[in-house]
Chain A
Amino acid sequence: AQSVTQLGSHVSVSEGALVLLRCNYSSSVPPYLFWYVQYPNQGLQLLLKYTTGATLVKGINGFEAEFKKSETSFHLTKPSAHMSDAAEYFCAVSDTGRRALTFGSGTRLQVQP
């Protein structure tokens, strides 16, 4: 069975600081991995995804994530936080044999001025 663990339900950073949101997964086969962002009162939008190939994936709004198979991790980073990055972020995994994604419980990012 696949599962996703997001460490830290709330993360607070200062504007201009590094953003690091953690995601670990379990999967019996090579996974597809996703990060989604949810702004208040909106649906989820795709930030980036990993399927195969290059392990460093770049997404929208300056975010990137690195797939580390040995650590079963897919952490999301951004070098310099902006106030507009304040939102909730969800990591998700999909493996073969399933027809849907499994989502983590989410991390709410707060950006302090």
Chain B
Amino acid sequence: NAGVTQTPKFQVLKTGQSMTLQCAQDMNHNSMYWYRQDPGMGLRLIYYSASEGTTDKGEVPNGYNVSRLNKREFSLRLESAAPSQTSVYFCASSEGGRDTQYFGPGTRLTVL
């Protein structure tokens, strides 16, 4: 099993450009999450999906959109990237909301 996979691993964007971060899990988990990690701030939840077909805002949703394409895949889209969105982005999945979350390797995004 690959667990949670994320693409791309690295990305550099210019201000105003758009991109989609892809995430897939092969553990048949119901819940999936997108976090951003910034120095000294831990992980902050952007969006989550408790089950296929549902999505909910987390702590820092502004500037992002998500799609739960099917049970396996959960994508994060930046419509118009800003320098404040420079961060490391992690996708995670779990069986349920209170269960152990399994993390992908992360995407390091730089917005110039």
Bound pair: A and B?
yes
B98 touches A94 (CB 8 A): yes
Is the pair B97, A100 in contact by a Cβ cutoff of 8 Å? yes
For A32, the chain B residues whose CB sits under 8 A away are 98
Bound complex: CA A102 to CA B106 (Å): 18
Number of interface residues of B (CB under 8 A): 25
Interface residues of A in 27-44 (CB under 8 A from B): 32, 34, 36, 41-44
Contact status B97-A9, CB under 8 Å: no
Assembled-state Cα–Cα distance A32/B98 (Å): 7
**Tally of A-B residue pairs with Cβ under 8 A?**
55
Q: In the complex, identify which listed stretch (A11-19, A63-71, A77-85, A103-111) lies at the interface while the others stay far away.
A: A103-111
Known: A105-B41, A105-B42. A49 touches B105 (CB 8 A): no
Given A42-B105, A43-B90, A99 contacting B31 (CB threshold 8 A): yes
**B79 within 8 Å of A by Cβ?**
no
Contact between B42 and A100, CB atoms less than 8 A apart: no
> B interface vs A, CB < 8 Å?
4, 31, 33, 35, 40-45, 48, 50, 56, 58, 90, 92, 97-98, 100-106
Where the two chains meet, the residues of A that have a C-beta atom closer than 8 Å to any C-beta of B are 9, 32, 34, 36, 41-46, 49, 51, 90, 94-96, 98-106
Query: Would you give 21 A-B contacts (Cβ < 8 Å), ordered by A?
Result: A43-B4, A43-B105, A44-B92, A46-B102, A49-B100, A51-B98, A90-B43, A94-B97, A95-B98, A99-B56, A99-B97, A100-B31, A100-B33, A102-B45, A103-B35, A103-B42, A103-B43, A105-B40, A105-B41, A106-B40, A106-B42
